[in-house]
Chains A and B, each alone.
Chain A
Amino acid sequence: MNASVNEIESLRDRGLLEKQFDDPVQQREAATLGMWVFLSTEILFFGVLFASYTICRILYPHGFAYASRETDFLLGTIETGVLLTSSSLIALGVRAIKLDQRALAAWLLAGTAALGVTFLVMHGFEYHKEWTEHLIPGLNFARGGPYARAIELFFCLYYFITGFHSLHVLAGVCVIGGLAIRVARGAFGPERFTTLELAALYWHLVDIVWIFVYPLIYLVGRAG
């Protein structure tokens, strides 16, 4: 708001201020609000899956409890830890860039992306294990007994939810990995960090969604 006309012109010439905005503050606020609106759509995307899960679980409470015990509790728990840690790394990364600690920020972002990859690899192991146990509906599902139908539904939803979530993790890894490189090259600084902040917001959402996925998939039914 307080930037002078010359500063504004200079920002425009360097391509740092788009023509529709009056000043950098307005540009930053618009980008941030845009990201929040986008995140609200994400909640509804996942919301459909959570609603479907809820309905199916009400239809088949025992089958879902039984199926839940087939998931890999240990891997799921470690994945949760990995994802939460990655979220704290990116938060620290944004703080580092605001304090002009560019090398540290680059490492923190690279760490975030690396933990994201770790998460995906661990999921890969889970999927592989389920493949060998014939738990993948549509491909090689082979379970009998009174709960067969419910187990199939459970794993159907499990793949929809974790698959859709993993796609988000993959997108985040690509974006944050790319940002880590740009940070290392000095593209960001205390004056210019909106993109990093938005990436962090997105990553936190991916994280928060998982905080709901983890109990629904891995914990429910283990107590009973």
Chain B
Amino acid sequence: MVAIDADTHIDTAPRNFLNCETGLWSWLTTHDHKRIGILYAIGITFFFFLGGAAATLIRLHLVTPNGAVLDAETYNKAFTFHGVVMVWFFLIPSIPATLGNFLLPLMIGARDVAFPKLNLASWYLYIIGGLFTICALLMGGVDTGWTFYTPFSTMFSNSNVFLVIVGVFVTGFSTIFTGLNFIVTIHNLRMPGMKWFKLPLFVWAMYAVSIVMVLATPVLAMTLALIGLERGLGVGVFDPALGGDPLLFQHLFWFYSHPAVYIMILPAMGVVSEIIPCFAKRDIFGYRFMVYALVAIAVIGFLVWGHHMFVAGMSVYAGLVFSILSFLVAVPSAIKVFNWTATLHKGAITFEAPMLYALGFVGLFMLGGLTGLMLAAPALDVPLHDTYFVIAHFHYVMVGGSVMAYLGGIHYWWPKITGKLYNEALAKFSAILMFCGFNLTFFPQYVLGYEGMPRRYAHYAPQFQVLNVLSSAGASILALSYLLPLAYLGWSLFRGAAAGNNPWDARGLEWQTTSPPPTENFFKPPVVQDAYAYDQPAP
């Protein structure tokens, strides 16, 4: 009976972007930002589990001090592959390319992004870059670490550095084009009445992140090209044997890769800024300061890369400046945390799954951010550099922060994207499981790092075993909590109840259209309110 109901429902469903055209070809040639968002979602989900598989190998290996499953060289390749895939093929595109692509035009009342063909081209570049990287894996992998430090990457590594560099280089262009598209879309395609300070914070986050993408990624692309030339032709500026300067590489690499961290976290902040007001049923606290904070993080984020290089032979004064600038980033970040908390104050809070993810984000991001302050102080960074403390710190920000927010966003907008509701109980369970699994995995790593366990080694001293086993146990819980949504969200696609246009009673233009939205996004023009007008009825 259920199956028949579902079928009749599909037949009578109003025209939307999913049922307007069918067939694989219609997806592969689509210019619809919503379909491209879904194409990206499929891509990044694949890469997430691929990178996750590498992480599983790492955690399994580290159960015993001498390494349980891999030899040292394979271990190097496993963590390199994990890093490369998770950074460039999951985290960077995750929220902007999926939720951003899907929601940005909806939120500003536009019919599409400014350059739909370029948008599709971005996805193809992403996939082509991914294929290069998978090729490198199949041909034996890479052992340089995701950072490709010279001269190891150019002179000494006997692995497929070149293929991976090509992969990341190509994917970089997909990032640049997405950023370019978003900047122009936000500038030029806002509907009448959608003023800059009426934009939802998610749109502001997309704007800030796009600027970082557009200005940082070219530096990475060019630096990787220089590595490729140095490796291929033996000519270049990084290798000391050629008279070059390996520190130059580190500066250029981190000039991209530190802002890249903000490419990962700014969109997450945008998502959380949508979810928290909705489930506290309150206007966001300090909207303008939230906007300024996003922009400030994007700008200051460009000036702090040197804190990755405190032990790399940097002068005391340079270290001092980079340290102070890194501390400065904490100010807008803290403003955001305070404002999310103040939004909750006296709110009518409900704990649906997206809210659990969002609250998880706030807690984990705060811990990740505070330990970032410790690492921004050279006196602490020198002993903690290259230990598990650093690993724990950036996983709290990227996994605890970005991945939690990404999943929160997926749960929050799932009814809008698919028109279906998922199993709320399972979703809540999985959010809580994720929070617990995450802390069990990574909190021990803070302790390990503080006690001096270095990162990137296949073996460790026996006294670290208990905490490593705890961490690996946590990782298995974390893995389960990532697989669960795949199951119940997949199930909801086929059997989920119809969601209705606005199941959360949320504000924002995307909730005024049908679920799923039609190809042109709105059957009738939406009504612009203030972004978080929870004190007024939904139009």
Contacts and interface: CB of A to CB of B under 8 A. Distances in A.
Interface of A: 18-21, 26, 29-30, 33-34, 37-38, 40-42, 44-45, 47-49, 51-52, 55-56, 59-60, 137-138, 149-150, 152-153, 156-157, 159-160
Residue of A41, A149, A159, A160 with highest tally of chain B CB at under 10 A = A41
| Closest A-B pairs by Cβ, 3 of them | A48-B222, A20-B112, A44-B218
| Most B C-beta atoms less than 10 A away, residue of A40, A44, A149 | A44
Contacts of B188: 26, 29-30, 33
Contact of A138 (B217, B234, B237): B234
B51 interface: no
Given A29-B188, A40-B215, A48-B223, A55 B235 contact: no
B235 A49 contact: no
Contacts of B226: 48, 52, 160
B233 A138 contact: yes
Given A37-B183, A37-B214, A152 B242 contact: yes
Most B-side CB within 10 Å, residue of A18, A37, A56: A37
A171 B252 CA distance: 26
A60 B216 CA distance: 28
Interface in B65-117: 105, 110-116
Kindly name the residue among A29, A45, A49, A159 whose own CB sees the greatest number of chain B CB atoms within 10 A. Answer: A45
B105, B189, B243, B244 — which one has the most chain A CB atoms within 10 A of its CB?
B243
Nearest to B249: A52
Contacts of A149: 242-243
A168 B252 CA distance: 22
B376 interface: no
Contacts of B243: 56, 59-60, 149-150, 152-153
Nearest to B519: A19
B334 interface: no
B214 A34 contact: no
Given A33-B188, A160-B229, A52 B116 contact: no
A50 B223 CA distance: 12
A26 B176 CA distance: 22
B280 interface: no
Given A47-B219, A149-B243, A34 B180 contact: yes
B237 A56 contact: yes
Contacts of B217: 41
A26 B189 contact: yes
Max chain B C-beta neighbours (<10 A), residue from A21, A33, A48: A48
B245 interface: yes
Interface residues on B, range: 35 or more
B524 interface: no
Contacts of A29: 188
B187 interface: yes
Given A44-B215, A152-B243, A20 B235 contact: no
Contacts of B245: 55-56, 59
B348 interface: no
A45 B112 contact: no
Nearest to A19: B111
B226 to A, nearest CB: 7
Contacts of A47: 218-219
B390 to A, nearest CB: 26
Given A41-B176, A47-B219, A52 B248 contact: yes
Interface of B: 105, 110-116, 176, 179-181, 183-185, 187-189, 214-219, 221-223, 226, 229, 233-237, 242-245, 248, 252, 520
Contacts of B248: 51-52, 55
Interface of B is mostly: helix
A51 B252 contact: yes
Contacts of A153: 237, 242-244
Nearest to B234: A138
A152 B234 CA distance: 11
B462 to A, nearest CB: 44
Contact of A56 (B112, B187, B219, B244): B244
Contacts of B216: 44
A56 B246 CA distance: 11
A137 B176 contact: no
Contacts of B187: 30, 33
A34 B218 contact: no
Nearest to A38: B180
A37 B184 contact: yes
B237 A52 contact: yes
Contact of A156 (B113, B223, B235): B235
A160 to B, nearest CB: 7
Nearest to A157: B237
Contacts of B214: 37, 40-41
A84 to B, nearest CB: 25
A179 B423 CA distance: 56
Contacts of A40: 214-215
A199 B188 CA distance: 21
A38 B178 CA distance: 11
A157 B242 CA distance: 12
Contacts of B242: 149, 152-153, 156
Contact of B116 (A20, A48, A156): A20
A42 B221 CA distance: 11
Contacts of B181: 34
A41 to B, nearest CB: 5
B237 A20 contact: no
Contacts of B244: 56, 153
